[in-house]
Amino acid sequence: MATIYDIAREAGVSIATVSKVINQTGRISDKTRKHVQDVMKRIDYQPSVVASALTKKRTYSLGLLIPDIANPFFAELARSIEDQAHELGYSLVICSTDNDLTREERYVNVLRQKSADGIIIATGARNDAMMKQLMKYKLPVAVIAREMPLLAVDTVLVDDYLGGYLAASHLTGLGHRNIAVIAEDLAVMSSKERVRGYRKALEEAGIPYDENLVAVSPFHVEGGKATAKELLSSSNPPSAIFGCNDLLAIGVVQAARELGLRVPEDVSVVGFDNTVLATIIDPPLTSVAQPVQQMGKEIVQLITGEIDGSKPSKQRLVLLPELVVRGTTSAV
């Protein structure tokens, strides 16, 4: 690999001059700038960011902590983050943690050693300790699609309370009164909020709260399926189920089918996230959409603003979810 010395020698200037044309700093005559650029192009020179990182304290890379890149929702989120990051000159290091604390810590250490300029966190709940650590390191941190109450950290998320409300009130509006909800883990704020929104909608519709209709399940299809089977085989089965994410909701659809129930005629189902999966199943899933594109864009802007100090204060940006009605919901 050619170094800045090669370019300097070849161009007959000093390395300082080359550095200045690379970074567009200092004052350089048009003539030498052109000339140096020509040489760089001819040699196909790529300045080493590892060397520049040593003095500039900038690696132009961001860590992305997510539960699992193979999970469609997070993959879509990652893609939108990647695009915006790339746009602004940053690369993305993916870190799938399975919400496992040990893995999370290992990854955070890797990112520290590699001097990532910032970390975007999309993983689960109870890592407040880790968050505080990160902030102690002065490592810019931003949280996406998750809420960290009581922590001063840049955040972009959807109004989960509203989302849960939209889902449930769509159902009550269709005349359903016996509505169950399957959450992934009430320790996760977003999950809790969605359930709270659900309760609010029921309350507004004058439906008394029934705790038997609030179930918790591991957040994958199988979990949703098993949980839904229980709910649907009870003595007083719900006529509608709200799955707190698309995976769970799809599990519900499969459970219904296996029990010989038709969707939506016998059971209505609503999901959350509006991933590709929602459009792929049959009937297509009614789901609450998160504006993934915008979320990715905003979070990158927040964290890069934080990184180069161009942003005065931390903020929490709450975007509004939208209900996308498809084929899994109908009137009772």
Partner DNA sequence: GTGAAAGCGCTAACAC
Partner DNA sequence: GTGTTAGCGCTTTCAC
User: Which residues contact a copy of itself (rule: CB under 8 A)?
Assistant: 1, 46-51, 53-54, 59-61, 68-72, 75-76, 78-79, 82-83, 86, 91-96, 106-107, 109-110, 112-115, 137, 221, 250, 253-254, 257, 276-277, 279-282
Q: Of 258 and 308, which has the nearer Cβ to DNA?
A: 308
| Interface of this chain with DNA, residues 45 to 74, rule: CB under 7 A | 47-48, 51-52, 54-56
Return the SS3 of 102. helix
Least distance in angstroms from the C-beta of 29 to DNA:
4
Pick one of DNA, a copy of itself, none as the site partner of residue 32 (Cβ within 5 to 8 A by kind). DNA
Q: Of 6 and 100, which has the nearer Cβ to DNA?
A: 6
Q: Of 14 and 279, which has the nearer Cβ to DNA?
A: 14
Asked if residue 37 binds DNA (CB under 7 A), the reply is no
Pick one of a copy of itself, DNA, none as the site partner of residue 16 (Cβ within 5 to 8 A by kind). DNA
Asked if residue 22 binds DNA (CB under 7 A), the reply is yes
Q: Between β-strands 240-243 and 268-273, what pairing exists: parallel, antiparallel or unpaired?
A: parallel
Q: Of 58 and 200, which has the nearer Cβ to a copy of itself?
A: 58
Q: How many CB atoms are closer than 10 A to CB 191?
A: 24
Q: Between β-strands 214-216 and 154-158, what pairing exists: parallel, antiparallel or unpaired?
A: unpaired
Asked if residue 138 binds DNA (CB under 7 A), the reply is no
Least distance in angstroms from the C-beta of 2 to a copy of itself:
11
Least distance in angstroms from the C-beta of 12 to DNA:
7
Q: What's the token pair of residue 45?
A: 């020179």
- State the alpha helices, DSSP H only, in 24-100: 30-43, 49-56, 72-87
Q: Of 97 and 169, which has the nearer Cβ to a copy of itself?
A: 97
In DSSP notation, 260-323 reads T--TTTT-EEEEEE--HHHHHSSSPPEEEEP-HHHHHHHHHHHHHHHHTT---S--EEEEPPEE
Number of residues this chain uses to bind DNA (CB under 7 A):
29
- 13's torsion region: left (phi>0), alpha (psi -120 to 50) or beta? beta
Pick one of a copy of itself, DNA, none as the site partner of residue 96 (Cβ within 5 to 8 A by kind). a copy of itself
**Residue 95 · residue 61 · CB < 8 Å:** no
Pick one of a copy of itself, DNA, none as the site partner of residue 150 (Cβ within 5 to 8 A by kind). none
Select the residue interacting with DNA from 28, 93, 189, 214 (CB under 7 A). Answer: 28
Among 227, 230, 266, 264, residue whose Cα is nearest residue 248: 227
Q: Which stretch binds DNA (CB under 7 A): 44-52, 103-111, 236-244, 265-273?
A: 44-52
- 153: CB partners within 8 A, 6+ apart: 131, 135, 141, 142, 143, 314
**Using CA atoms in the order 300, 303, 307, 312, what is the torsion angle rounded to 10 degrees?**
120
Among 114, 164, 117, 163, residue whose Cα is nearest residue 139: 117
Asked if residue 114 binds DNA (CB under 7 A), the reply is no
Chain positions contacting DNA, by CB under 7 A? 1, 3-5, 12-17, 19-20, 22-23, 25-29, 31-33, 47-48, 51-52, 54-56
